[in-house]
Amino acid sequence: MLKIEGLHAGYGGFEVLRDVSIEVGAGETVAVLGPNGAGKSTLLKVIAGLLKPSSGAIHFENRRIDGKAPYEIVEMGISLVPEGGRLFPELTVYSNLMMGSFNKRTRRYFKDSLEEVASLFPIIKQRKNQVAGLMSGGERQMVAIARALMSRPKLLMLDEPSSGLAPKIVASIFEFVKEIKDRGYSVLMVEQTVKKAVNVADHIYLLESGRVEFHGKKEDFLENPKIKRSYLGI
């Protein structure tokens, strides 16, 4: 469904991603793991069209998408939950969700999408008139995921959904990710916290200094001796 080949990208002359190739199959959940500064957010920004790659190709459902504008990429069915959620702080929860369904493909399904998303996150109905900037971090993350789902994506991308949240809330966020996965969405998630992310993923990529250092099924990841030592602490 999503196929990234030989991707190079960076900021100005500073190269962040080096020859990155990643695949996400339909209905699959893929986790890209890596330490701070590895280039995880950069990767998602490139896919979402927020940053132009310097070389390489990205195909989504057999159509080439690298170089397209962000608003075109949403129309095709890719949605990003940015790091920290990035809700529009002065808009209400409802208006944030409206923005989620802005694209032409799904705007007319707003009511249906809202019901569907509310069945996952009841909070969006209870708090629909609250200004997003006044919510707690965990609530904002939920609304941010809800906003992304409002665009009825085929591929949902999550940038460190657990960052900055209390452990209990992190656990519930991953429960939601699991639920989203069970509803049939394809998910591409980047994370620093390895253990929780590995639990929900089918495939794992390990990104270090902008290079893919490992990729394989969850089982292979867990069995790999080097990874066991440096990432799982066993």
Query: Which residues contact other proteins by CB under 8 A?
Result: 48-50, 69-71, 73-75, 79-80, 82, 86, 88-91, 95, 98-100, 102-104, 107, 147, 151
42 part of the interface to ligand ADP, by CB under 6 A: yes
11 part of the interface to ligand ADP, by CB under 6 A: yes
Q: State the binding string over 10-49 for Mg ion (x if CB under 5 A, else -).
A: -------------------------------x--------
Nearer to ligand ADP, 42 or 101 (CB): 42
Nearer to other proteins, 95 or 163 (CB): 95
Contact window for ligand ADP (CB under 6 A) among 22-30, 37-45, 112-120, 222-230: 37-45
Nearer to ligand ADP, 83 or 97 (CB): 83
Contacts 24+ apart (CB under 8 A), 174-183: 174/199, 174/200, 176/120, 176/121, 176/142, 176/145, 177/29, 179/120, 180/120, 180/145, 180/149, 180/156, 181/29, 183/120
Q: Indicate which single residue of 36, 63, 233, 234 sits in contact with ligand ADP (rule: CB under 6 A).
A: 36
Rounded Cα–Cα distance for residues 72 and 167 (Å): 36
Residue 189 beta carbon to other proteins: minimum distance, rounded to whole angstroms: 16
- The helix, strand and coil proportions of the chain, stated in percent and rounded to the nearest 5, come to 40, 25, 30
38 part of the interface to ligand ADP, by CB under 6 A: yes
Q: Which of 165, 161, 164 is nearest to 146 (CA)?
A: 161
Asked if 113 and 152 count as a contact pair (C-beta separation under 8 A), the reply is: yes
Amino acid letter, 72: E
100 part of the interface to ligand ADP, by CB under 6 A: no
Paired with 59 in beta bridges are: 3, 64
169 binds, among other proteins, Mg ion, ligand ADP, none (CB under 5 to 8 A by kind): none
The residue behind tokens 């999408």 is 113
Residue 181 CB: number of other CB atoms within 10 A? 19
Kindly list the distances between the CA atom of residue 31 and the CA atoms of 40, 182, 199, 214, in Å, as whole numbers in the listed order: 10, 16, 10, 12
Contact window for ligand ADP (CB under 6 A) among 8-16, 20-28, 58-66, 116-124: 8-16
Q: Which residues bind Mg ion (CB under 5 A)?
A: 41
